[in-house]
A = this chain, B = another copy of it.
Amino acid sequence: MSQTVDRALSILPLLAEGPASLEQVATRLDVHKSTALRLLRTLHDHGLVYRQQDQRYRLGARLFALAQQAVEALDIRGIAHPHLAALNERTGHTVHLAVYEQGEVVYIDKVESRYPVRMYSRIGRPVAITVAAVAKLLLADLPEPERRAVAEGLDYPRYTPRSTPDAGAFLAELARVREQGWASDLGGHEESINCVGAPLHGPDGRVCAAMSVSAPNVVVTAEELLRLRPQILRTAEAIGAELSGAAPAAHHPATKGAT
């Protein structure tokens, strides 16, 4: 692995937190100022980093453009979206789509609730990996050694009393999820929010993404939400079928095609 590039790339997550000065970057990277400057300049030349008038650095327009292209390149998203929208239409609740990539679970799509109730997460933010239904689904499908390695490398923040407490409990939960083919999170992240999720199987049979329906219990109780399970599973299967090349059932015009 290339040390120079490694350092340069380490700057990006750092700047994602907020603007930082040259000195701050140098300190956090543990390199000399002049080194940090050179790296930042290179990033700047590529437009990944932006320099504001106060000379501090932020992420730049190019990075946003690339990010946009990155999600658009994910076929799953384009294929799944109409299905997710339809599910949202029928249930009225917020629907999420997430993928797993190298130890991270990332939301890549979301269809908002019709209810004008604020939902906790925005797409893109790394998921609360130890509790979210989608995270459980994605991790549950990993081969056993990797699953354990990931589980043991995680923090287990106690968002609520119902949050997953530790690696042991998490692995047990993953086993259950794997077994039953769906997952739920009942107030494990935010006390009043529940969600139910299902896995999306790719052509190779492995779980390539996960979806979930979330709602605060001021709108529906956990029991009512869980009653949507069959519908969610059916949607997940429909998406999976289409991913595997099955003809898309003639729903709405499935415009947003992927190639």
Contact = CB atoms under 8 A, between A and B. Distances in A.
Interface range for A: 35 or more
Interface string A238-259: 0000101111010100000000
B102 A6 contact: no
A60 interface: yes
A181 to B, nearest CB: 20
A60 B112 CA distance: 24
A141 to B, nearest CB: 13
A152 B19 CA distance: 33
A150 interface: yes
A12 interface: yes
B41 A251 contact: yes
Contact of A61 (B9, B63, B71): B71
B8 A70 contact: no
Interface in A31-86: 38-39, 41-53, 58-75, 79
A126 interface: yes
A205 B68 CA distance: 10
Contacts of A204: 53, 64, 68
A219 interface: no
B245 A101 contact: no
A7 to B, nearest CB: 8
Nearest to A55: B253
A247 to B, nearest CB: 6
Contacts of A38: 1-2
Given A70-B63, A72-B125, A145-B89, A50 B8 contact: no
Contacts of A247: 44, 47, 50-51, 60-62
Interface of A: 1-2, 4-6, 8-10, 12-13, 15-19, 38-39, 41-53, 58-75, 79, 88-89, 99, 101-104, 106, 108, 112-118, 122-126, 143, 145-146, 149-150, 153, 203-205, 242, 244-247, 249, 251
9 contacts: A1-B42, A4-B4, A6-B45, A13-B66, A16-B67, A61-B108, A66-B67, A112-B146, A116-B149
Given A67-B67, A68-B122, A112-B146, 5 more contacts: A2-B39, A8-B8, A16-B73, A53-B204, A112-B145
